[in-house]
Structure 1
Amino acid sequence: MSLNEDIERWLVREQADFHSLRLGNSEARPHVTLSYAQSWDGSITTAPGRTVVLSSDEGMQMTHQLRSLHDGILVGIGTVLADDPQLTVREWTGADPQPIVLDSQLRIPASSRLCQSEHQTCWVLTTQATGAARSGCELIVVPGDDSGQVHLHKAMEILYRRGIRKLMIEGGAAVITAFLRAGLADAAVLTVAPVFIGGYNAIGPLGNTDTLSCPRVTTLHSRQLGNEIIVWGRLCYTHAAPPDTTT
């Protein structure tokens, strides 16, 4: 079985199991997959706001395959400002996921490619009820949390009501950290590139005082892709999580 087939079969099963286990749960939300590339020392870039390409062509193709397996793809405003991404499936066969930007202060430029797309209207999750409209974007006002950022649990409920059952998070670091801190990331697919950067890490402080309460990866899998290592698994937020018995 190829790497692409291996990851797809695993992820589709994880998504189905997640929703079957949550039937009747009062908090209906999407299954959330974190996916990003990092160096061997855990860096995703040399400094905040800088773009560093870490994935190979094969790794990028795998990322686009993952996009095709999700209803929506979410990035933070920092990623939009630094990379001006398209968030489409260009290197794989499949439908483009719904682009979503987490932008509490509504800083997304009207000139960004996500706002200029002719194919999809970008959803912008923001706390700014009186912000100016952006052509090509739909503003979705979400209550703020104690720090003035978009309340992630409420945002996930809104996305679920809008039909997003499978959500992929591509970054940046603040968004990845926020989803882990909130216990909202359910799976992770990590590309480890054969390079040391000594730069800016993908994960910031999670607020845990006990390592037993930190997010843990279960059902751990890994494969080599060229000179890269692809690691993926389910995320668990309790120390006494039952072992996975699937094969």
Structure 2
Amino acid sequence: MASLPPLTESLIPFLDPYLPRINPTAVLDKAETDDSLPFITLTFAQSIDSRISSSPGARTSISHLETKTMTHYLRSKHDAILIGIGTFLADDPILNCRFKINHDDSSHLIRPVIIDPTFKLGFYYEKSKLRQAFLESKGLPPIVLVRLSEIRSNPEIKSFCTLHKIMLLPIETEPASEFRWLKVFKELKKRHIKSIMVEGGASVINSLLLARDPSSGKSLINSLIITIGPVFLGKSGVEVSPCKELRLTDVSWWTGVQDSVICSHLK
């Protein structure tokens, strides 16, 4: 695999206000064992017309190598990277962190988290790039969130996960529009996940954009970082667009060789 180009230096001060304040490899102390949630960064690349792929299930290149390096820099600042099973099946992603300050440094090991209510992962994991990265000590095995009823009805799920060192996290989940993000993030915090970078796909993004803490009404997203590539993917593309209006605040823009990046918080 080709090495990443160097990180554009101007990205570091641009991104810094939107990143977790804690060391992602630090051990939980007493102040971090309460009911506070992990720091959630929602980030993805999209076209000008708000599409993240050219069609459902299609692997689509949108961003420049410059912002691909940025993505791995962002991963170096988080404990976990979360995607839906649809993204895993479409892209066969490695879900690791390749960013290094210099060649002598070791890569940060980030924990993949996959939302997979019916455990489709089991049919594809053994030949996946994700598993190969773990076998080569370049990545970690995932945490997989599976519907509790599915686990109870299929005992082979537990044995498969044990064999492959996959952490199985039971969830009582419904369709994505009703997904219990608050409970999921609390469960991940109990497993020493203090910061999570959510990358997709569309159903995960659209659902999380609307997710709120019922007690405070605040968004569960701490930071929103979107890369916008100079391309229209058309009406057949997979769209990111929540079902109601959302306003951004604390907005900053950065423009690189090809892409633009917007960082913000949600009102």
Question: Could you tell me the TM-score, scaled by structure 1's length?
Answer: 0.81
Say yes or no: does 1:192 pair with 2:217: no
Partner of 1:4: 11
Say yes or no: does 1:101 pair with 2:114: yes
Gaps of 5+ in 1: 17-22, 237-247
- Conservation of the 8 A alpha-carbon contact between 1:143 and 1:154: no
Comparing 112-121 and 42-51, the one that deviates more: 112-121
Which structure carries more relative contact order (alpha carbon 8 Å, separation 6+)?
A: 2
Partner of 1:122: 142
Q: CA deviation at 1:148?
A: 9.9
Q: CA deviation at 1:58?
A: 0.6
2:131 partner SS: helix
Distance 2:203 2:262 in 1: 21
- Correspondence list, 1:139-158, <5 A: 139-145=168-174, 151-158=180-187
Partner of 1:244: none
Identity score, percent: 29
Q: CA deviation at 1:99?
A: 0.8
Root mean square deviation of aligned Cα:
2.5
1:47 partner SS: coil
Partner of 1:165: 194
Equivalent position amino acid for 1:75 in 2: I
Distance 1:148 1:231 in 2: 25
Which of 121, 126, 129 in structure 2 is aligned with 1:113?
129
Partner of 1:217: 248
1:29 partner SS: coil
1:112-170 per-position Cα deviation (integer Å, ceiling 9, x unaligned): 22234223121101113234224242211122247797532211111011111111001
- Conservation of the 8 A alpha-carbon contact between 1:176 and 1:202: no
- Correspondence list, 1:202-213, <5 A: 202-206=239-243, 208=244, 211=245
Partner of 1:20: none
1:231 partner SS: strand
Q: Rate the CA distance shift 1:80–1:110 in 2: closer, same or farther, 3 A.
A: same
Which of 132, 147, 167 in structure 2 is aligned with 1:138?
167
Give the 4+ runs in structure 1 shifted more than 3 A. 91-94, 145-150
Q: Rate the CA distance shift 1:137–1:155 in 2: closer, same or farther, 3 A.
A: same
Equivalent position amino acid for 1:143 in 2: E
Equivalent position amino acid for 1:154 in 2: K
